[in-house]
Amino acid sequence: MAMEINLGKLAFDIDFHPSDNLVAAGLITGHLHLYRFSVDSEPLRLLEVNAHSESCRAARFINGGRAVLTGSPDCSILATDVETGATIARLDNAHEAAVNRLINLTESTVASGDDDGCIKVWDTRERSCCNTFDVHEDYISDMTFASDAMKLLATSGDGTLSVCNLRRNKVQVQSEFSEDELLSVVIMKNGRKVVCGSQTGVLLLYSWGCFKDCSDRFVDLSPNSIDTMLKLDEDRIITGSENGIINLVGILPNRILQPIAEHSEYPVECLAFSHDRKFLGSIAHDQMLKLWDLDNILQGSGNLQRNRDGARDSDDDDDDDEMDVDTDSSKFNKGTKTKRKLGNNEHALGSSNDFFADL
């Protein structure tokens, strides 16, 4: 049902080009892969770049898709030219800890989050780091941006949600500690609700402006951790869980509408939409990048429901084997309690002020 790309190694992040049928993947080996895909032919790998000395945890297209930014536990952020694969710029001291997340904010700004809970905002026109927020006590698991309000929301392994005001350059609010790690975040209901996925599979709903404590909890996906979420529209999200199931979930009213795909029996690491939303991309701990026809899986996925319990049982059986295989990984599962700070370097080989000089 899905186009499959065998990446050969575990992938931690994927991102689609903003206007072309290209997808980038960051691998545990530190490599960045770039593929072209279409409905009429097999996916074609265009680039394989040895981007980092340690794993490539985050990848994002920037500057209209002309470059790809990647982040790593080696504390660096790299900008790679999409056409040639050449290095445009590298910042070796971007963070003092492993870079775990990257997101686009505006046409000229991006944000990065690290394993110590620090968030930085980079201005690609001014060519500098313009905001630093030392807000969390554990790794930044996910971020999203409310463009109208110019506020950056982040979830963390410390069990809190934060809201950073970019206009005032300050942390506006941080939620009370929840019972477990928060792994993913989306803004819903035309900006009125914020939904966070957790390690125990509980969805926490916050009302905008009332971030101290959640207003609602949805437990039907428990006990499978919700490592990744995408907003399909203002009322529905797509979730990726540790049992390998991709679900369509309604928000207010809260209900599992249907399981729409089964990536594998291994945890779903990341979900992303293609630029035209024709494809849903998914990666898991099976080293496969899958491209799902979004219309097809939304319409024809009822048969997955009866396989769900079996997938959950097999996931329980296989977890120990997978952990044995990948105990040397710098990042295996965002839901683990172990700090993922292997190989953090204290290099200071570049200045944040000149990082984007050539972009």
pLDDT at 186: 98
The rounded distance, in Å, linking the Cα atoms of 59 and 27 is 10
How far is residue 241 CA from its own chain's centroid? 13
| Residue bearing tokens 């797509």 | 238
CA atoms of 328 and 198, how far apart (whole Å): 24
Alpha helices in the chain (DSSP H): 294-299, 308-325
For position 327, what pLDDT does the model report?
A: 31
pLDDT of residue 154: 98
How high is the pLDDT of residue 147? 96
Burial letters 10-23, b for 16+ CB under 10 A, else e: bbbbbbbbeeebbb
Q: What pLDDT sits at residue 302?
A: 53
pLDDT recorded at residue 359: 59
pLDDT confidence of residue 349: 31
Supply the pLDDT for residue 75: 96
Cβ burial, residue 30 (10 Å; 0-12/13-18/19+): buried
Q: Which two tokens stand for residue 240?
A: 């990726």
Q: What are phi and psi of 324, to 5 degrees?
A: -60, -40
pTM of the model: 0.86
Backbone angles phi, psi at 80, to 5 degrees: -115, 135
Q: DSSP string spanning 41-86?
A: EEEEEEEEEE--SS---EEEEEGGGTEEEEE-TTS-EEEEETTT--
The owner of tokens 């000229």 is 108
Q: What is the pLDDT of residue 301?
A: 56
So what's the pLDDT on residue 168? Answer: 95
| Token couple for 193 | 């609700």
Which pLDDT score is estimated for 339? Answer: 32
Rounded CA gap, 84 and 50, in Å? Answer: 13
Task: Judge whether 37 and 45 are in contact, CB under 8 Å.
Answer: no
3-state secondary structure of 248: strand
pLDDT beneath 70, residues of the chain: 127, 301-359
Q: Give the pLDDT confidence score for residue 321 in this predicted structure.
A: 38
Instruction: Say how far apart CA 231 and CA 332 lie, in whole Å.
Output: 25
